[in-house]
Structure 1
Amino acid sequence: MSTDSVAQSLRRARSGVGVAGAGRPPDARPKRVLSPRNVTMIALVLPSILLVLLLNAYPVLYAGVQSVRDGDLISSGDFVGLANYQTVLSDPVFWQAARFTLVFTLVGVFGSWAMGMGLALLLRRRIPAGGLFKVLLLLPWVVPVVVSATSWNWLVATPQSPLPILADALGFGRVLFLANPLLAQITVCVFKVWISFPFMMMMMGAALAAVDNNVYEAARVDGASGAQLLRTMTLPLTAKSTFISWILMTIFCVNDFPTVFLLTGGGPVNATQTLVVQAYRTVFLDFETGPGVAIAFLMTVVLVVISVVLYRSVKKVDIE
């Protein structure tokens, strides 16, 4: 048999065709015919799919209609096109809220991630009463945010609160944490990290549990330090879970209404007002539905862009 015949036979064999020509041609694919069972399953699932689409699509479409009209909570009003978006984007209060939303999100995401990662690494070691310690660390996330916000208000809100009294005793004067714009912003961001780090701790703990300890032992035998292990092994091996947790926490922070509203209400002088709080005030307090919904749509666009960027990072980690 010649060399060309051998090569052709190998190609035919890889394609599922016998040397003598038996078998189906390479390009021939069996036709897929829906069986009665598959038709029945589709018929049973289709109403649920349509219902879910309607429940999600209708509010979005209706909100889109409201964003281009000058109505209120009672009437839809007249069509004004993109005037509501122009009004929102030219409002200094919107950009002030956007800046604080950015700061609030960055601190909430990376602050809670750093704290959660540190505690997850600590909990990998054998410590006394480790199970009880884990349960206590989950409390800020498990306790309802209303209770947590009330507790923090008791700690910092008034001159008679414990932290202002402690600051006065240490010589800093009677510090009003929620009356000063900068201190109020810091307090809100710290509060967000405090109620969010347990989620990050669980995410990072699950990612670290999937890493084989033998990898670390081998690196320690080779003389790797703790910082080198963190930089070259822990962070790369948990990168996928890290990006996923960043996506989720970004969505949580941007859409977080109760944390800010219950603690400061967006004050003082709009210093801690985020975009979601501004959208709420615009719609339900100022009764301007169009601009309020326009703010929500702008938030959605930004969230989609950030999520796509981080999701591509996840896919790159999968490829590598």
Structure 2
Amino acid sequence: MAVDTRVADKIGSARRGVGVAGPGRPPAAPRKGRGKTPLGRAGKTLALFALPSLILLVLLNVYPVVYSFLQSLQQGTPSTLPWQTPFVGLENYANVLTSESFRNATTFTIVFTVVGVFGSWIVGLALALLLRTRIPANGFFKVLLLLPWIVPVVVSATSWNWLVATPQSPVPIILERLGFPDANFLGDPVLAQVVVCVFKVWISFPFMLMMMSSALASVDTNVYEAAKMDGASAWQAFRGVTLPIISRTTYISWVLMTIFCVNDFPTIFLLTQGGP
């Protein structure tokens, strides 16, 4: 009976955190949670290895931006030394924002971007839906439709310039024989903008064609069969089935094409030489 009492006392002491040797032994100290360890020797070594790349990144990216901004707050010429240019503050920005040429350029950039993004998307999506059907020589047509994007933009712009640049070019001659009035496509400001926008759609729709084709490949044909059995028309199936499934790829394509259009200076310059 005494043995059972001692065993019970030891078990109770263990549960209360008291050592089994007796009440004289101090209870075990609770373990502290492991916090964030300081940067060790390996971390410092990695930081030293990354430091040259970080310095190079700052010199090549951050410094030019800061220097250009400071230069924009001064009034000078390329031949003027930096410390000789007077400080004018935001006057240069005010002159640019209030100039007519800036408004015209901004308006055309918006129109060019909207037409380039949605025009190439509509053409690319339509061709992707067409090539998804079983037509003869499907692979040949896919390669053929990618040529406007594969060919360098310099070659494409030179070809289009030869086609429409002067009244003696092939396109104006054909339109004149069809009864249309003479048109100087690259000499008239409005017609030049139309040609540039159409040319952008021409060289950009293959990119949208590839993006939409990859998105349509993930659409299960059984979904269309189920929609057809429910009495949905082709337009209803496209609007209710196809568009929701390819929406994520569509948004990504729009963002990428918007970036391409906003930054696309070579296309416009090669086609129009900066005018009219």
TM range, smaller chain: 0.7 to 0.9
Distance 1:135 1:59 in 2: 42
Distance 2:250 2:42 in 1: 41
Letter in 2 for 1:31: G
Between 1:41-50 and 1:139-148, the stretch displaced more is 41-50
Distance 2:240 2:220 in 1: 15
Match of 1:126 in 2: 134
The aligned runs of 1:232-251 (5 Å cut-off) are 232-251=240-259
Aligned to 2:57, which of 52, 73, 85? 52
Between 1:71-80 and 1:192-201, the stretch displaced more is 71-80
- Show structure 1 runs of 5+ residues with no match: 1-19, 21-27, 269-320
TM-score, normalisation: structure 2 = 0.80
Aligned to 1:105, which of 84, 108, 113? 113
1:30-53 deviations in Å (ceiling 9; x for gaps) = 434366655555544453344334
Distance 2:210 2:51 in 1: 36
Q: Verify: 1:31 aligned to 2:70, yes or no.
A: no
Shift of 1:240: 1.6
SS of 1:198's equivalent in the other structure is helix
Match of 2:78 in 1: 73
Distance 2:115 2:247 in 1: 19
Letter in 1 for 2:76: G
Shift of 1:64: 1.1
Q: Verify: 1:117 aligned to 2:121, yes or no.
A: no
Change (3 A) 1:266 1:127: same
Letter in 1 for 2:93: Y
Aligned to 1:198, which of 198, 203, 206? 206
User: Whose relative contact order is higher, 1 or 2, with alpha carbons under 8 Å and at least 6 apart?
Assistant: 1
Shift of 1:211: 2.8
Letter in 2 for 1:143: V
Shift of 1:204: 1.6
1:246-277 deviations in Å (ceiling 9; x for gaps) = 11111111111111111113322xxxxxxxxx
Change (3 A) 1:203 1:43: farther
Distance 1:29 1:217 in 2: 59
Cα root mean square deviation, aligned: 2.4
Change (3 A) 1:87 1:126: same
Q: Give % identity.
A: 62
Q: Please tell me whether Structure 1 or Structure 2 has the larger radius of gyration of its CA atoms.
A: 2
Distance 2:99 2:125 in 1: 39
Aligned to 1:137, which of 120, 142, 145? 145
Letter in 1 for 2:220: D
Q: Verify: 1:213 aligned to 2:221, yes or no.
A: yes
Letter in 2 for 1:72: T
Shift of 1:84: 0.5
SS of 2:89's equivalent in the other structure is coil
Shift of 1:62: 1.7
Letter in 2 for 1:185: Q
